[in-house]
Structure 1
Amino acid sequence: MPTEPAPPDADQRHRMLTADRALAAHQQDRGRARSEVSLVEKWFLDQGVPFVVRYAAGRRTIARMTPGLVLIFLTSIAVLVARLTIIPADPDTLVWTLIIKGDLKDRDFLVAGMIMLAGLGVGITGAVWTSRRRGSTRRLLGASPGLLLLGGMLLVCLVHSLRYLSPGVFFADLIGFAALVISLYLLVRGGVSALFVWALRRALPRHQDLVRLLTRALPLQLVLVSFLFISTEAWQVADSLSAGRLAIVALFFGVAALLFLITQIPRELEAIHTDLSEDSVQSSCRDTPLQRLAAMIDISELRHHRLERRERVNLVLTLMFAQGLQVFGLGLFMFVILIVFGTITIDSPVIAAWVLHPPTPVIWFGLRLPYFSTQLVHVATMIASFAALQFAVLAVTDSVYRVEFFDSMVGRLSDTLVAREVYLAGLEQHQLGPSHELLPWQQPSSS
């Protein structure tokens, strides 16, 4: 007759209760860390460094594709409406071709263009709304909305093909949608879309940056280039340039500034020292979601992780875009200042004496602009482009310019590298993988 197992004694019950409490505490800590890591990942996206984030694959990628899928789907509906109600029944004719090549005075083409522009605007609005609501709406965090939008695209293909009773139209639309969705997947999966969204948000400089450019950089640059603006040779050269050649000159200066930044910024990245001391970590994480994550890890165990190639490219692009935005802003301010200064101080007889013929008026959309001349616009564009290139070089090499316009960005990049180490330490110390699950080498064995 089998014997019943003896009931656990008091010591065994105490050990079991202690183990259960420790497991519950561990699961609770992992849950809090999982929540904090999600907030940190969103913060990295807002800072323009999506390549630092260890993304999850599969359903989470589809969830991050949802705003882009909303844009594609809503825009495709507008194109479908234009094709079915406005454009003649010719499946081989592209709507965009008709709009570009057609006479926009014709009512049909004008209405078709307005429908598609309205659809594009609605699509962008829907994508922005979806992107903002994803963090607070649980339904948008899964794959279901993305899969539903993919089904809607198939429905659009089906309706379009039924209009013309042609399987070829269905497969042509299907291939077009597939190309868009695959491109979106690659952009989202690689983090390029997040970098692009960050660049759009930063396209308008902050108030502090504008004030610093206007009060510190612009006066110094005016001193350096003012002699060019009142020289006869500069006006004669600018007058000899057609609009196309002037654009090439401005593009030449822009490319030269870009090439200079490309060669210098990686060196700056290599020279950055990441200080992982407790004071440095607390300073870098202050007033960010990383502040709570740093309190949940052992800072003494922080170690340097080697930058991956994609992370290095991301950091270089971030710094280059921020600096390029300052260079473009300086060039734009310089152009406006030169136009205003030239309009006030340089009269038409002086311009005629310099270029040996009367100044050419500026005609814009059939209207003649008063007080402006083509020669003034050309010379202001040429000198402003040169000043932008000069500012790009001085901001990195000159100590005075560097303190004002470059070191602060390098300092923010250093803080980002410290934040990266805290983020990676949070994943490791709390055993969280890219999808906030156990890392592959930490999976419990089945035995």
Structure 2
Amino acid sequence: MNFENSLSFAQSLDASDQFRNLREEFYIPQHKGNDAIYLCGNSLGLQPKSTETIIMSQLAAWRNLGVEGWFEGDEPWLQYHKKLIGPLAKIVGAQAHEIAVMNSLTVNLHLLMVSFYKPTSKKYKILMEAGAFPSDQYAVESQVKFHGFELADAIIEIAPREGEYTLRIEDIIVQINANADEVALVLFAGINYYTGQIFDMKAITAAGHQAGAYVGFDLAHAAGNVPLSLHEWGADFACWCSYKYMNSGPGGISGIFVHEKHHHDTSLDRFAGWWGYKLKDRFKMTPGFQPEAGAEGWQVSTSPILLMASLNASLQIFEKAGSVTALNKKSILLTAYLEYLIKQVNKQLNYEHFKIITPANQQERGSQLSLICKSDGKAIFDYLVSNGVIGDWREPDVIRLSPVPLYNSFEDVYQAAKYLLEAVKHVQ
């Protein structure tokens, strides 16, 4: 498409957007009496207008039924998670029995590593991307130390080549192959939080398995953002949060994927809890853990119904949209338009003030562009915020902007770029 740097062009794209009405499903933060330009869905998604009603219905069940709400009412809590499984399975490309809704992301990562990080004296290393989100780094460090290994020896971090910002898939594969005799686990993000790069999860899974390692993914920035096919790719496990692109609210409930090939593998360790016990006998309270079939057997604690209700509100909107693949087509166009506009800003300034470090290949990025500011980055970011443009600042010099297809418009993107240009002129 031949883009134009004009408000009328942005508005024409909005007029032909098949998802334009979904914006009305969300509350848009306000700035001086107008809708803010919210480009921070990669950190916290917006609140669906239905969230309050759906949560209130569960508060009413609690009020009216008390403990009997687990078994009675229109939506008995004991099975409430079932209404989330189908939509989530479509979002991450899984079979329904490979999904469980539980806990928070890092808790789930630890629980899954209990099962899938099984180091031996020879194969004990974890291979991951350098610059992974700190939660993943800390989880991996603590797991390695728990098993008695030295961090410098047991963790292999793959960094971009000198002068580059993103990883090449061939370099990842080379490192997996080179360390095949010692790697026990390959653990990657689906999308790197800092650069917005999508990793080739299919290729990483195949290479990891060829090396005799388990392969898992942190999908915090990928789930609800880009199409995924976890079952088809054969990934061993994955986990994600739901408060970014899936709009479940701050600290919203997480989810896990465990490939069905592992469901009956009794050699896998797991930390057990009552809620993972097989449902038909759960209330007999007998000793000796017998897991529920499928990924639900990895559950530990009682379902937090109010958090699940909040996620349910957003998943209903995903169902209206039809598929992540369809949404991704808009995402690609939105992000491409933002990329074009940023380049226009640089052109008007006669130099590259904003360097885009997110991959230029549209198939290697999601709903995010990360910009290195040549100078005055924090002052520019603060100017954006003061004018109602809500993005994300990452030290030392990166602004992340995330146009989300569910609720962002092309006019949002146009106005954000206009304020970027204003910001540079303001701080100079």
Task: Give the structure-1-normalised TM-score.
Answer: 0.24
If each structure's strand is expressed as a fraction of its own residues, which one has the higher value? 2
Q: TM-score, normalised by structure 2?
A: 0.25
Structure with max Cα Rg: 1
Structure having the higher helix fraction is 1
